Amino acid sequence: MPEDFGRKWQDTVQPRLEIQGLMRRFGGREVVSDVSLSIAAGQVSCLLGPSGCGKSTTLRLIAGVDMPDQGVIRVDGRPIVDARTRVPPEERGIGLMFQDFALFPHLTVSQNVAFGLPRHAPDRQGRVAELLERVGMTRHADKHPHELSGGEQQRVALARALAPRPGIMLMDEPFSGLDDRLRDDIRDETLAVLKAEGTAVLLVTHEPSEAMRMADEILLMRDGRIVQSGAPYTIYNNPVDLRAAAFFSDLNVIRGRVQGALTETPFGPFLVPGVPDGAEVDIAIRPQHLAIDFDRAGKGPRSTPTHGEAARGVVERARFMGSESLVEFRMDFDGSILKAHVPWVFLPKPGTPLWLMFRRDRCFVFPHVGSQPKVA
């Protein structure tokens, strides 16, 4: 029906949470600078960045426990913070989940979840039962928190936070208290529950692997600013700069100087359009994208357009990591170390000569920060 269609269409285009130009200063220093973002119903966005970059402060501003110096926050199109508006935290329709998700020790699992609901909410028990079912905790409904494992407690905390059906959920490192193997399962389960509830989620983490696993969109934060946003695939494969690339994995970096839109390196020439002559560039490649070939009586493989030229190195050390082998090479051309990940058991002896190539479709080329083009 036209009316229903209109409502659904609006649901999909109207962001649940929208932020424009958020800024927070502490003692004259901008800790959050010009942060803008938008999250739709059912979308999970991860604010990812190193410790101290301003992630938690951003979350606190949205939750309403701290006030921005500038910026607008809208929930379902309605301003909750702007130059004239300050909606109190409890009226924002925002759920919170933090690392120290303290459950009430004297209440049962059911009572803890019910605590998130208004006393006279219709079908209180029905909602509690629905949520316990959703997080797989129905059979533990009458237990107390001390009778539960860390992962089970985390599930109860999620159910409690979701009980009042918040349109938006803010999560600050919610899985960091859990051990590694449990964490992966809980992450996946949490994601499924949040998607089923259609909640817009902003999750803070400093772990790239967590963001890659959870996020529809990653917001990469540094020094108070969002420096890049996009789908995990895009951020990983098209990083905005060297630091963004290095945040997700080890990187091999070689330096070159540009001459006529090319830079010559031991791995052959690289095309660097748009960079002025004389400028230095960093050419980076992730360890899993280095190609390795054998030494044939002091010779390596022929150069190809996709792999460029090969450069020789000798194995410094090789380690088996479980799902891959890590081989470190000392390169003949300058004595530097390059690292390669090989997705099988590959453990050449130290001192073995091998040849490496930079796959052209997997390289990142960035102007070297701090370099100036040589003035002729």
Ligand X SMILES: Nc1ncnc2c1ncn2[C@@H]1O[C@H](COP(=O)(O)OP(=O)(O)OP(=O)(O)O)[C@@H](O)[C@H]1O
Question: Which parts of this chain interact with ligand X (CB under 6 A)?
Answer: 26, 31, 49, 51-57, 206
Distance in Å, CB of 51 to ligand X, minimum: 3
DSSP per position, 7-56: HHHHHHHS-SEEEEEEEEEETTEEEEEEEEEEE-TT-EEEEE--TTSSHH
Nearer to ligand X, 45 or 56 (CB): 56
Nearer to ligand X, 57 or 199 (CB): 57
158's tokens: 């999620």
Nearer to ligand X, 17 or 159 (CB): 17
Nearer to ligand X, 176 or 352 (CB): 176
Distance in Å, CB of 168 to ligand X, minimum: 18
Contacts with 351 (C-beta within 8 Å, 6 or more apart), sequence order: 314, 315
Distance in Å, CB of 52 to ligand X, minimum: 4
Give the residue among 374, 209, 360, 208 at the shortest CA–CA distance from 284: 360
Distance in Å, CB of 221 to ligand X, minimum: 7
| Torsion angle in degrees (nearest 10) through CA of 292, 298, 299, 300 | 10
Rounded CA gap, 303 and 71, in Å?
54
Nearer to ligand X, 127 or 206 (CB): 206
Inter-CA distances, 4 with 12, 42, 127, Å: 13, 19, 26
Rounded CA gap, 372 and 367, in Å?
10
Nearer to ligand X, 31 or 191 (CB): 31
Distance in Å, CB of 56 to ligand X, minimum: 3
Distance in Å, CB of 330 to ligand X, minimum: 36
Rounded CA gap, 250 and 324, in Å?
14
